[in-house]
Amino acid sequence: MNGLVVALALPAVTAGMLGLLRGMVTDRVAARAGLGASVLSGLFVLGAWLLHDGGGYASELDVTWVRTLGVHFHLGMDGISFPLLLMTTLLSALVCWALVDDPPVGDNATPALVALVMVVLSAAIGVFSSLDLLLFFVFFELALIPMWFVIARWGDPHDPVGRRVAATRFLLYTVVGSAFMLVGFVTVWALTGTLQIPELAARADVLDGGWALFAASTIALGLAVKTPIWPFHLWLPDAHAKAPTVGSVLLAAVFLKLGTYGLLRVLVSVLPGPARDLAPWLGVLGVVGIVLAALACLRQTDLKRLIAYSSVGHMGFVVLGIATLTDIGVAAAVFASVAHGVVTGLLFFNAGSLKRRFGSAEMSVLGRGLYARMPALAVVLVFAAFASLGLPGLAGFWGEMMALRGAYEAAAEAGAGLVPALAAVLLVAALVGVLLTSAYFLRLIRRTLQGVPTPHDADLDLDGSERGIAAVLVIAVLILGLAPGIVMGVVEPSIPAILGSGR
């Protein structure tokens, strides 16, 4: 039995069963089915990794899919994808747990929503384990479609028009990005006659010249929209603001990681020469995103929009790490992706709890003195904010520090993805972004948690399931912050295969 295939199939089968039995399944049963499928998928991923002998890909499966085009159903897992797979199954499980006690409005709405979550989970597992470019593309697009329904159908109940506009903007941006990505994949296939990622990586020296640069540019552009990298991020703030908590967590913790993973698995691994040419552009856009997103956060009055813009900044650090084309930079990208998924998931769960009680995430509506009215939620929100701003000892610290160290190494010596002078400028600018990140989170804490409590009827603190979800994520943040070697020990052996001749 192939553990990776089972992990991919379980949520897909669960989605199909919930769709068929929608009228006969209660909300709680549907949510618990999604929770169980997510946990089991995570256990199969973990088991497949632990049973791996250390050579090649874990749970590799290679079956011819479309013989005339040379397309294979080729799956496998390495140290780059394994942490992302575990994070994805964890967040999916927590999303379904949240739906047990907080079902969406509407008759039999929970089975439909959980089915969509399961499709996203299955597609994300497919993306993180695909070793064929066309298969990668198919799974990528499969993750896109259910997200539109989640935002448009179950988004902000007070603004039905706004949520549909946000969902449509999300769809249009990402479809255009997909078109560019597909053009790049077809170009690679035309140049090499294969779509197999391991084979392409082994022949990476052949992929050079004008057409290879064209392929890399279109792939990078498509993935930049999905990450998103500034200035292709315009779909993200509204999508987060109008999405339900389920949608916000999936967007931040899962969907954004598909883009950064693609930059590593496809751009850097398959097209190392053109990736080196594009690295300065990626580095500049990533750091510009860090600074401008932080400045935008300082002006936000809506908590969910603030977290959305902060995600653009955090993804900027991931992109900076990738752009250095150094061992520590790639390690930073993977670690920061996992840390961001866990920390931002915690932030969005808190924002969802507040919006559920107050009917809005606007800070003016939330009022002041939340610590006095909702001490448990306030403590978790402060913890998540400190983790997100990169407090040492918490998950957010290590990814940013390693990305900055990668930029420092690139500034100190030639041979990396960035020329020394540019790397030095980007390093200084990214440090400014770190300071601004601290400023906007401290502003958030001062504006909502401190001060004289604002009178309000909604003084309910976190309930049982909310406390349980928060506890799981707090523990994950502490483990990543206090024992980063758990992740790094998995990631580091796979870095040479990613960088390859691109170093």
106-118 tens-digit pLDDT? 656 888 889 999 9
| 296, 309 contact by CB (below 8 A) | yes
Query: What contacts 40, CB < 8 A, 6 or more positions away?
Result: 7, 10
Task: In whole angstroms, give the CA distance from residue 45 to residue 269.
Answer: 23
List 62's β-bridge partners, or say none: 74
SS3 332: helix
Q: Name the one residue in this structure whose structure tokens are 């050079």.
A: 208
What's at 318, amino acid-wise?
Answer: V
Task: In whole angstroms, give the CA distance from residue 257 to residue 338.
Answer: 8
List 196's β-bridge partners, or say none: 132
Q: Where are the beta strands (DSSP E) in 112-155?
A: none
Q: Is the pTM of this model over 0.85?
A: yes
Token pair, residue 341, equals: 């998924």
Secondary structure letter of residue 130 according to DSSP: B
The 3-state secondary structure of 29-74, one letter per residue: HHHHHHHHHHHHHHHHHHHHHHCCCCCCCEEEEEEEEEHHHCEEEE
Count the helix, strand and coil residues of the chain and give each as a percent rounded to the nearest 5. 80, 5, 20
Task: In whole angstroms, give the CA distance from residue 297 to residue 445.
Answer: 13
Largest CA distance in the chain: 70
What pLDDT score does 448 carry? 80
Residue boundaries of the structural domains of the chain:
1-131, 132-502
Task: In whole angstroms, give the CA distance from residue 107 to residue 27.
Answer: 9
User: String of b and e for 405-438 (b: at least 16 CB within 10 Å)?
Assistant: bbbebbbeeeebbbeeebbbbbbebbeebbebbb
Classify strands 58-66 and 71-77 as parallel, antiparallel or unpaired.
Answer: antiparallel
Helices 27-50 and 3-20 cross at an angle (nearest 10°) of 170
User: DSSP characters for 211-225?
Assistant: HHHHHHHHHHHHHHH
Token pair, residue 252, equals: 């931040």
CA 17 vs. chain centroid, Å, equals 27
- Cα separations (Å) of 136 from 76, 132, 161, 185, 234? 12, 6, 33, 10, 25
Task: In whole angstroms, give the CA distance from residue 33 to residue 28.
Answer: 8
List 64's β-bridge partners, or say none: 72
Q: Minimal CA–CA distance to 141: which of 104, 110, 185, 97?
A: 185
- How many degrees, rounded to 5, is the angle at CA 165 between CA 163 and CA 170? 95
What pLDDT score does 503 carry? 39
If phi over 0 gives left and psi between -120 and 50 gives alpha, with beta otherwise, what is residue 26?
beta
> What tens-digit pLDDT sequence spans the chain (503 residues)?
788 999 999 999 999 998 888 777 887 888 899 999 999 999 999 999 988 877 778 888 888 888 877 788 999 999 999 999 999 999 999 999 998 887 776 656 888 889 999 999 999 999 999 999 999 999 999 988 898 888 888 887 877 888 888 888 988 998 999 999 999 999 999 888 888 888 888 887 777 788 889 999 999 999 998 888 888 888 888 888 888 888 889 988 888 899 999 999 999 998 888 988 898 899 999 999 999 999 999 998 888 889 999 989 999 999 999 988 888 889 999 999 999 999 999 999 988 888 888 777 777 777 667 777 788 888 999 999 999 988 899 998 998 888 888 888 776 665 566 777 887 888 889 899 999 998 988 888 888 877 666 665 555 777 778 899 999 999 999 999 999 999 999 999 988 888 874 33
What pLDDT score does 101 carry? 81
What pLDDT score does 413 carry? 64
Token pair, residue 56, equals: 């090649």
Task: In whole angstroms, give the CA distance from residue 286 to residue 260.
Answer: 11
Q: How many residues in total does the chain contain? A: 503
List 66's β-bridge partners, or say none: 71
What pLDDT score does 417 carry? 64
- Cα separations (Å) of 503 from 231, 276, 460? 27, 8, 54
What's at 171, amino acid-wise?
Answer: L
Task: In whole angstroms, give the CA distance from residue 429 to residue 89.
Answer: 35
Task: In whole angstroms, give the CA distance from residue 441 to residue 406.
Answer: 25
| 323, 283 contact by CB (below 8 A) | yes
Task: In whole angstroms, give the CA distance from residue 259 to residue 344.
Answer: 17
Rg (CA), the chain: 21
User: String of b and e for 335-344 (b: at least 16 CB within 10 Å)?
Assistant: bbbbbbbbbb
The predicted-structure confidence for 348-378, as pLDDT tens digits, reads as follows 998 888 888 877 777 777 766 777 778 888 8
